[in-house]
């Protein structure tokens, strides 16, 4: 009995994986994008902090990031 | 909303601010609410956690939270989603730490002045407290207690819910120990 249910569980897992591999489910892709955005935010914070510590101006940081000086300052200023 | 918080729930909120201060974070996150919740004794949430075997694994939850913070607060689900894109979060963190030092990715986030005080609450932490309110209302409880904060943490995808679920603490299991049998199944 338990062996049967284990077998079925394994089969379900395999089916899930197979479905995910070729993914058409928008949720998977959207979640990946959201996670990527979070990772990006963390990386940006690390780099901006590092640049500030090395004496970079907001203008210089903004130029490298390709955004306006105001945008960077608003996000990371006063901290 | 605050005036409806019980003494224990307020202690969780102030405890979370202390945890954030101690950790050097500029914002109070959902993880800090959970850390503060784990510190409680004699409250309804601590009763629920103890009923689910909390004595055994509280420390392991704290460690899991620390690990997650080190990888930029990304949950396992998020790390898995990125792995699906070919991005190894562990590798990214390792490289950042090589240059910027251990714990570089655990840095603070922007988010200013929501509640008074030096540290603001992250969107996630605010969401937890708002959910706690809604859960209390749905349960027809007059006050918002720390057990509602615990329920809110389990109801919201993210690092705290994952760390708790790894130890059998789910929305279902907490609901069961707090409100009894009903249709809630063992978690």
Looking at CA atoms only, how far is residue A28 from chain B in angstroms? 7
Alpha-carbon span A18 to B159, nearest angstrom: 27
DSSP string, B100-146: H-TTGGG-------SSSSSSEEPHHHHHHHHHHHHHHHHTT-SSB-H
Query: Which B positions 69-88 lie with beta carbon below 8 A of chain A?
Result: 72-74, 77-79, 81-82, 84-85, 87
- A-chain residues within 8 Å CB-CB of B84? 20, 23, 28, 32
Chain B hits for A43, CB-CB cut-off 8 Å, are: 72, 92, 96, 105
**pLDDT at residue B109, rounded to an integer:** 40
Q: What are the pLDDT digits (tens) for B120-148?
A: 899 999 999 999 999 999 999 999 999 99
Task: Tell me if chain A has a CB within 8 Å of the CB of B123.
Answer: no
Q: How far is CA B134 from CA A69, B61, B144, B149, B161, in A?
A: 40, 26, 9, 10, 18
pLDDT tens figures, B45-86: 999 999 999 888 999 999 999 999 888 889 999 999 999 999
In total, chain B counts a number of residues equal to 187
The whole-number pLDDT of residue A22 equals 54
Q: Where are the beta strands (DSSP E) in A1-79?
A: none
Q: Is residue B187 part of a domain?
A: no
Residues of A in contact with B109 (CB under 8 A): 41, 45
Task: Look up the domain containing B172 and give its range.
Answer: 2-179
- B8-17, B66-75, B146-155: least confident range: B66-75
CA pair distance A36, B82, nearest whole angstrom: 7
d(C-alpha B5, C-alpha A67), whole Å: 42
Does the pLDDT value for residue A36 go beyond 50? yes
Task: Specify the residue for token string 């590798």.
Answer: B91
pLDDT at B5 over 70: yes
Does residue B118 belong to any structural domain of this protein?
Answer: yes
What CATH number did the domain enclosing B10 receive? 1.10.1780.10
Query: B180: which residues sit within 8 A by CB, 6+ positions away?
Result: none
B13 within a domain of the structure (yes/no): yes
B185 inside domain: no
Dist CA B185 CA B173 (whole Å): 7
**Pairing between β-strand B120-121 and β-strand B27-28 as defined by DSSP bridges:** parallel
Task: Provide ipTM, 2 decimals.
Answer: 0.71
| C-alpha span between B2 and A65 (Å, rounded) | 40
Residue B186 lies in a domain: no
Chain A residues lying within 8 Å of B108, measured CB to CB: 45, 79
User: How high is the mean pLDDT of chain B?
Assistant: 89
Position A20 pLDDT exceeds 60: no
Is A31 within 8 Å of B77 when comparing Cβ atoms?
Answer: yes
Q: Give a yes or no: residue B66 inside a domain.
A: yes
- Please report whether residue B184 resides in a domain: no
Number of domains chain B is built from: 1
pLDDT band at A19 (very low <50, low <70, confident <90, very high): low
Q: Closest residue of B to A23, CA-based?
A: B84
């Amino acid at each position: 009995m338990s062996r049967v249910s284990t077998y079925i569980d394994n089969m379900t897992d395999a089916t899930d994986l197979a479905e995910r591999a070729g993914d058409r489910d928008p949720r998977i892709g959207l979640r990946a994008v959201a996670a990527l955005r979070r990772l990006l935010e963390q990386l940006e914070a690390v780099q901006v902090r590092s640049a500030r510590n090395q004496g970079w101006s907001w203008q210089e940081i903004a130029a490298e990031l390709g955004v306006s000086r105001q945008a960077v300052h608003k996000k990371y200023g006063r901290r | 909303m605050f005036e409806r918080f019980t003494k224990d729930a307020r202690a969780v909120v102030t405890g979370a601010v202390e945890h954030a201060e101690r950790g050097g974070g500029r914002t109070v996150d959902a993880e800090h609410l959970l850390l503060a919740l784990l510190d409680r004794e004699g409250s309804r949430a601590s009763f629920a956690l103890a009923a689910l075997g909390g004595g055994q694994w509280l420390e392991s939850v704290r460690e899991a939270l620390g690990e997650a913070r080190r990888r930029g607060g990304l949950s396992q689900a998020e790390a898995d989603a990125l792995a699906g894109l070919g991005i190894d979060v562990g590798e990214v963190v390792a490289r950042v730490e090589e240059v910027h030092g251990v714990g570089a990715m655990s840095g603070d986030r922007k988010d200013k002045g929501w509640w008074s005080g030096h540290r603001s609450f992250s969107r996630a932490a605010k969401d937890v407290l708002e959910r706690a309110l809604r859960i209390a209302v749905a349960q027809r409880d007059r006050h918002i207690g720390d057990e509602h904060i615990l329920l809110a943490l389990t109801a919201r995808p993210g690092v705290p819910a994952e760390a708790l679920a790894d130890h059998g603490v789910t929305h279902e299991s907490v609901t069961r120990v707090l409100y009894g049998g009903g249709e809630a199944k063992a978690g």
